[in-house]
Structure 1
Amino acid sequence: MATTPPHCQDSAWPRRPGGLRRAAHGLLAAVAAVAVSLGALAVPAYAEPSVEEIEAAIDEQWREMEPTIAQYNKVRAQLKVNREKSEDLAKKLAPLQEKSEIAMRRIGSMASQYYITGPSRELGALLVSDDPNGISEDLALLNRVAAMEHKQLEEVLKVRREYEDQKKALDELIAAQDTQESELAARKKQIDAEIKRLKDSLPVTTVSTPQCPTINGVVSEAARTAIRTACAQVGDPYVWGATGPNSFDCSGLTQYAYKAAGIYLTHYTGAQWNEGRAISRSDARPGDLVFFSSPGNLHHVGLYLGNSQMVHAPRTGKPVMVSSINTMPSIAGFRRPG
């Protein structure tokens, strides 16, 4: 009887259980490894937001806050006017209140005397008089006096009611505006806190160049490029009207530096003043432009490096250099290009 060849036997009969388990474990391990590698590829590395992105978020928050500030200021101005009006009405009401109370007491006294204690002595004397004409005349006079008292009281009460109605409406308006002011103040506080949070999250950057001091501060990508470009020109001669690459005047240097960052500035100090956003000295950052003036005339610009230092093209006979902004007369202000 023929026997089955060993290789046919291996293919026709099942493998041993231990072999199946080993194969399954190997397959699962391979699948897991692929899944891990795919997962690693699918999850991108987290990138910190740039200065420009945070600045854009601050600008967005500020645009949201500006209408709130405008409305807040409007309500506060209206409240001031309305409170003054309310105080003025209160001053006018005080004498009217006193006058009406005096008139009320007089009429009340007359009525009480007549209806409770009987006619007054003067009226009794009239009733026993022997002169009928005199009695009639005196009674008519008393009626006229009473009518005049009543009319005066009505006039006072009418004016007082008018003032009270005005004050009531004004006080209701003030109460509504007080509520609105509180709501706007709370909204302003909320946006202020978010802007502060964003400002506090601005990344600190170190900018190191051979020709300029090392900078540690908040510096945008464009400002970093401008700083490195301007600092690379330290030692180049000042030439009036020059814009580089080997010689510069003051606005020519700042134009050249920011052109490298993709921002075009006009080759004129006065124009560059209007081509950037105004920045206070306390908020000035490395890369901002710092301007100097004589009475009625902007005459010089430099690239601010922080810590009261700038790189600039000073004048004929002095090359591009780093110096203190305090050595120049009259700082006109700071502008942030871009």
Structure 2
Amino acid sequence: MPVATMPPHRHDLKVSARPGGLRRAAHRLLVLVAAAVVGAGLLSAPAHAAPSVDELEAQIDKKWEQLEPTIEQYNKVRAQLKVNRQKSTDLQKKIEPLSLQSELALNRVGDLASRYYMSGPSHDIGALLVSAKPDTLTEQLTVLDRLAAQEHKEVEGVLAMRAKYDGEKQKLDSLIATQTRQQNELAAKKKQIDAEIKQLEAAMPKTTVKTAGCPTINGVLAVAAQKAIKTACQQVGDPYVWGATGPNSFDCSGLTQYAYKSAGIYLTHHTGDQWNEGKAVSRADARPGDLVFFYSGLSHVGLYLGNNQMVHAPRAGKPVQVSSINTMPVAGFRRPG
């Protein structure tokens, strides 16, 4: 007898259908919970506000503090290069006439040797040897010997001088090689500095600086200091351009050089050199017209106006202006002249 097949129990049907449905429901629940958590996190995450103008200025000032020593090193090498080029010109002027003089002297000696030693006596000398009286012959030969000795002495003197300047010529060649290397280094530094300044300028807020110029200074000042102050103050508002020495744009040492040049005092376009080109004065004895230097590396300089004020070319993006000397660490004061 066939065995009757019993229909599945209703409870069994629910159990068999439950696992897949539960898994799907749990998955949907987890997705919803995760989305809610992420959304809540996004809503609660703090928004990063754009830096304020003051914060940007502080960032740029800090970056400029690192960049300015490189600019002043560039100015130093460029000033040295100018001196070296003048040395090259002076040496070349000395070498050229000595070279020509020695060649002419050697040619004269060569002609003399050729006539008297290589080709034998000339017809005139032969006749002199045959017909001349002994005293005449001796006299003539003595003249010839003296002539040869004079030529020899002249050549020795010229060759000695030429040897001296040949040594100078070697120095000159070495100097030219150094200049070439310096030029390449300057080109690389200029490219690097220009790129960094562009980055700084891109971040700088556009501002307008209005100033009436330098404050009135009362007191007894040297004529040179008066002239330098007047000249520097006339540049207030002119743009900062690194490597510039005027008349319409300046960097820090370019401004002080330009100011004192108007007073007949020449300063090198480099802060380190300007430090050594002036007389040291204490802060207590500093007076208007002195140069005030900043940072241990002497990477910035301004023209002191008294009362803790100076006129200076601060950095790219900031024009020539009057400001306090207390915004940077003061390294010392120097008095040009």
Compute the TM-score of the two structures, normalised by the length of structure 1.
0.52
Higher relative contact order (CA 8 A, sep 6+): 2
Q: Which one of the candidate residues 281, 295, 299 is aligned to 2:237?
A: 281
* Kept after mapping to 2: 8 A contact 1:82/1:170: no
Larger radius of gyration: 1
Over 3 Å counting, the alpha-carbon distance change for 1:202 and 1:153 in structure 2 is same
Deviation at 1:152, TM superposition (A): 0.9
Q: Report what 2:148 is aligned to.
A: 146
Deviations 1:21-43 (A, max 9, x none): 42243244135415633763797
Residue 55 of structure 2: aligned partner = 53
Matched with 2:171 is 169
Following the alignment from structure 1 to structure 2, what is the Cα–Cα distance between the partners of residues 76 and 88? 19
- Structure 1 residues 3-42: aligned runs within 5 Å: 13-30=15-32, 32-33=34-35, 36-37=38-39, 40=42
Residue 87 (str. 1) matches residue 43 (str. 2): no
Paired residue for 2:116?
A: 114
Match in the other structure for 1:135: 137
Supply the AA of the counterpart residue of 2:32: A
CA deviation string 1:77-129 (max 9, x = no partner) = 22222222222222222322222121111111122223443212343133213
Which residue of structure 2 lines up, in the alignment, with residue 155 of structure 1?
Answer: 157
Aligned to 1:105: 107
The 5 A counterparts of 1:214-293 are 280-281=236-237
Q: Residues of 1 paired with 2:152 and 2:103: CA distance? A: 13
Distance 1:102 1:119, change over 3 A: same
Q: Give the Å deviation of 1:169.
A: 0.7
Specify the SS of the correspondent of 2:72. Answer: helix
Name the structure where strand makes up a greater proportion of residues.
1
Alpha-carbon separation, structure 2, partners of 1:38 and 1:152: 101
Structure 1: gaps (5+ residues): 205-216, 220-268, 271-277, 284-296, 299-332
Give distance in 2, aligned partners of 1:108 and 1:130.
27
Q: State whether residues 74 and 189 of structure 2, in contact with CA within 8 Å, keep that contact through their aligned partners in structure 1.
A: no
Deviations 1:246-277 (A, max 9, x none): xxxxxxxxxxxxxxxxxxxxxxx99xxxxxxx
Identity of aligned residues (%): 53
Query: Residue 120 of structure 2 aligns to a residue in which SS?
Result: coil
Deviation of 1:158 after TM superposition, in Å, equals 1.6
- Deviation larger for 193-202 or 70-79: 193-202
Q: Secondary structure at the match of 1:16?
A: helix
SS at match of 2:49: coil
Report the alpha carbon displacement of residue 280 of structure 1 after superposing the two structures with TM: 4.2
Distance 1:75 1:202, change over 3 A: closer
- For residues 24 and 208 of structure 2, the distance between their equivalents in structure 1, rounded to whole angstroms, comes to 59
> CA, structure 1 residues 199+146, in 2 after alignment: closer, same or farther (shift >3 Å)?
same
Residues 27/88 of structure 1: CA separation in 2 closer, same or farther (3 Å cut) = same
Residue by residue, what CA displacement relative to the aligned partner does 1:121-152 show, whole Å, maximum 9, x if unpaired?
34313321353444344334322321221221
Structure 1 residues 31 and 195: CA distance shift in structure 2, 3 A: same
Asked if structure 2 preserves the Cα contact closer than 8 Å seen for 1:72 and 1:184, the reply is yes
Does the aligned pair in 1 maintain the 2:56–2:204 contact within 8 Å?
yes
Superposition deviation, residue 63 in structure 1: 1.8
- 2:201 is aligned to 199
CA displacement 1:28-86 (0-9 Å, x = unmatched): 41354156337637975443232223222322332223222322222222222222222
One-letter amino acid of the counterpart of residue 160, structure 1: R
- 2:95 maps to amino acid: L
What is the TM-score of this pair, normalised by structure 2? 0.52
**Which of 182, 185, 199 pairs up with 1:183?**
185
Residues 180-223 of structure 1 deviation map (CA, whole Å, 9 limit, x = unaligned): 2442354244334423432332356xxxxxxxxxxxx589xxxx
| Alignment-derived partner of residue 331 in structure 2 | none
Q: Structure 1 CA distance, aligned partners of 2:82 and 2:203? A: 38
After superposition, the Cα gap between the structure-2 partners of 1:128 and 1:56, relative to the gap in structure 1 and judged at 3 Å, is same
Structure 2: distance between partners of 1:17 and 1:137: 142
Change in Cα spacing, 1:22 to 1:76, as seen in structure 2 (3 Å) is closer
